[in-house]
């Protein structure tokens, strides 16, 4: 099994769909089942063996910095990537943090991505499947049929060997991106400067047949709105997620 000693936690977004909760705090600090969304992510990364997580900040950055400081003594070790000057989007944020992430492989984890585990831990399953000879990126995918709080037609279809194709304009596909990917620094060679989305690099990988997915065994909670947060709270109470 591969090891990922580092991870990028994308915590700089504005959280506009989570208003009014995010009028006074950044979305990663919104509580779910008694602890901030960010802590759910960091604790899961620690369970997967991640030693250092880079957390980027832009919106209410002082709140995230203070919370990071309060986790002293807990795993993983935390480093702040400061995006106060300009919000770099998902891809640009990782590029800025590459010197801290190393060659990889490393996780790129949305700060609001939470789920209940199935028979195996999802991040460790991703590490077992990771194959840099065939893959530029490995995405964690949630089946629409078991996801909570997601309203949409999905993002990807997946072949039996895990290769991905994007949803066509009028299609419905079985899987949504669950907010976690695994990659290494090679994917960012010749990446653009400044703000850009990871989707740009995923599309490059798609054209080469090097974008893969792994089905989540558990139940993904798309905590995008206050109503979805309430739904996720109910699931945590019922399933002990």
**Per-residue pLDDT tens digits for 172-226:** 899 999 999 999 999 999 999 999 999 999 999 999 999 999 999 989 998 888 8
Cβ count near 44 (within 10 Å): 21
Residues 93, 97: Cα–Cα separation, whole Å: 6
Domain ranges of the chain: 6-239
**218 φ, ψ (degrees, to nearest 5):** -85, -155
pLDDT at position 83 is 95
Instruction: Report d(CA 218, CA 119) in Å as an integer.
Output: 8
Span 22-33, pLDDT tens digits: 999 999 999 998
Integer CA distances (angstroms), 172 to 142, 166, 167, 175, 180, in order: 14, 10, 7, 9, 21
Task: Specify the pTM.
Answer: 0.94
The CATH T-level fold of domain 6-239 is: Spore Coat Polysaccharide Biosynthesis Protein SpsA; Chain A (3.90.550)
């Amino acid at each position: 099994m591969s090891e990922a000693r580092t991870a990028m936690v994308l915590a700089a977004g504005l959280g506009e769909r989570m208003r009014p909760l995010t009028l006074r705090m950044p979305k990663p600090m919104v509580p779910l089942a008694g602890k901030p969304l960010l802590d759910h992510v960091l604790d899961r990364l620690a369970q997967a063996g991640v030693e250092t997580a880079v957390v980027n900040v832009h919106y209410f950055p002082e709140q995230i910095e203070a919370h990071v400081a309060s986790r002293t003594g807990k795993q993983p070790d935390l480093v702040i990537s400061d995006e106060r000057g300009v919000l770099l989007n998902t891809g640009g944020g990782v590029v800025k943090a590459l010197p801290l992430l190393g060659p990889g492989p490393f996780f790129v984890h949305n700060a609001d991505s939470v789920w209940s585990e199935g028979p195996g831990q999802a991040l460790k399953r991703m590490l077992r499947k990771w194959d840099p000879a065939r893959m530029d990126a490995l995405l964690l995918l949630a089946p629409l049929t078991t996801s909570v709080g997601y309203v949409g037609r999905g993002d990807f279809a997946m072949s039996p060997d895990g290769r991905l194709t994007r949803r066509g304009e009028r299609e419905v596909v079985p899987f949504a991106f669950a907010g976690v990917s695994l990659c290494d620094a090679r994917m960012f060679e010749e990446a653009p400067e400044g703000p850009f989305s990871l989707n740009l690099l995923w599309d490059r990988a798609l054209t080469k047949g090097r974008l893969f997915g792994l089905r989540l065994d558990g139940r993904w909670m798309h905590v995008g709105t206050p109503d979805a947060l309430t739904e996720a709270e109910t699931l945590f109470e019922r399933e002990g997620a």
